[in-house]
A = this chain, B = another copy of it.
Amino acid sequence: MTINRIGLIGLGIMGKPMAKNLLLAKHNLGLYARNPATLESFTTNNIEKYSSPAELAENCDITITMVSDSPDVEEVIMGKAGIIDGAKSKHLVIDMSTISPKLTRSIAQSLKAKNIDMLDAPVSGGEQGAIDGTLSIMVGGSVEAFNYAYPVLQVLGKNIVHIGDHGAGQVSKACNQILAAQTVAAVGEAFLLAKSSGVDPNKVREALLGGFANSKVLELHGKRILEANYKPGFKAKLHYKDIGIALKSAEENNIAIPGTIMIEKYLRKLVEQGDGELDSAAIGKIVLDGNG
């Protein structure tokens, strides 16, 4: 199937640079935004603007959704004048938002009844990854849909893995979020132990980067924590939301993940004390402040 036009809904921190990369790759774009002012900066003539997700989907072959949370995804796909109302048979929805695996499976099933296909394709790599087109993309859905979408995903990311069936991408993202957050907390504990022992945590970080405890989190968030630079980046309140998804899944699957429960407390504390807009590296701040 030829891809004549790609629809994109969600022009936030992530969606905007993704749109730019799709345009650079010579794709025709279809855009919709709840607030039309968001679309003003998009002026090239390979862009069409639509007044509803349904209208957008009707005029595009693929619709990418990149919105904040489960209710937003549900609304643009299943809600009034939603994608499901406009999309023609064989349309593909690629949801790159981070939402619940369970909801993903349920939406995919509803779409399938109308012969619309879906991939869940949440990402890791943050704003910089979106700008550079180097996102890590975790994909759930059929192999056929994955192969069809692959050239488009390649424009947006670098490490693109087909994890499994519907929801598997979201499960992988949940795994990513619990691992990243716990590593931040562990880095916080290491720095706290160093500081309280009268040892420079900068030196400790330098030493640990060369050994077995090395991680992307120690490198990037470790630096943020030591500089007390919590400008986002990836906001704590969104990480909190993602951890909630993981804990809900754990509950549904009847498993215990106590490390995740611990970092949920840290993130909740950040949100409750009004620090939800900080980068989620601020988990380290909570640990360093002894609120562990």
Chain A positions within 8 Å of B, measured between CB atoms, are 101, 124-126, 136, 138, 158-159, 161-164, 167-168, 171-172, 174-180, 182-183, 185-187, 189-194, 196-200, 203-204, 206-218, 220, 246, 249-250, 253-260, 262, 290, 292
CA distance A200 to B165 in the complex (A): 10
Residues in chain B near residue A168, CB distance under 8 A: 197, 199-200, 203
Residues in chain B near residue A163, CB distance under 8 A: 199-200, 203-204, 207
CA distance A163 to B34 in the complex (A): 54
**Is B207's CB under 8 angstroms from A161's CB?**
yes
Known: A161-B210, A171-B199, A178-B193. 10 other contacts (CB 8 A): A163-B203, A164-B203, A176-B208, A176-B212, A189-B257, A189-B260, A212-B217, A214-B215, A214-B216, A259-B292
**Is B213's CB under 8 angstroms from A216's CB?**
yes
Residue of B nearest to A123 (CB): B211
Residues in chain B near residue A176, CB distance under 8 A: 190, 207-208, 211-213
CA distance A215 to B212 in the complex (A): 9
Q: A167-B197, A197-B249, A204-B171 are in contact. Are A192 and B159 (CB under 8 A)?
A: no
Chain B min CB distance to A198 (Å): 8
Closest 7 pairs between A and B when the two form their complex, measured CB to CB: A159-B210, A124-B211, A215-B215, A136-B211, A182-B186, A196-B253, A175-B190
**Is A187's CB under 8 angstroms from B193's CB?**
no
CA distance A286 to B220 in the complex (A): 29
Residues in chain B near residue A164, CB distance under 8 A: 198-200, 203
Residues in chain B near residue A203, CB distance under 8 A: 161-164, 168, 172
CA distance A194 to B176 in the complex (A): 10
6 A–B contacts from the bound complex (CB under 8 Å) = A172-B208, A175-B191, A178-B193, A182-B186, A193-B255, A196-B250
CA distance A206 to B161 in the complex (A): 7
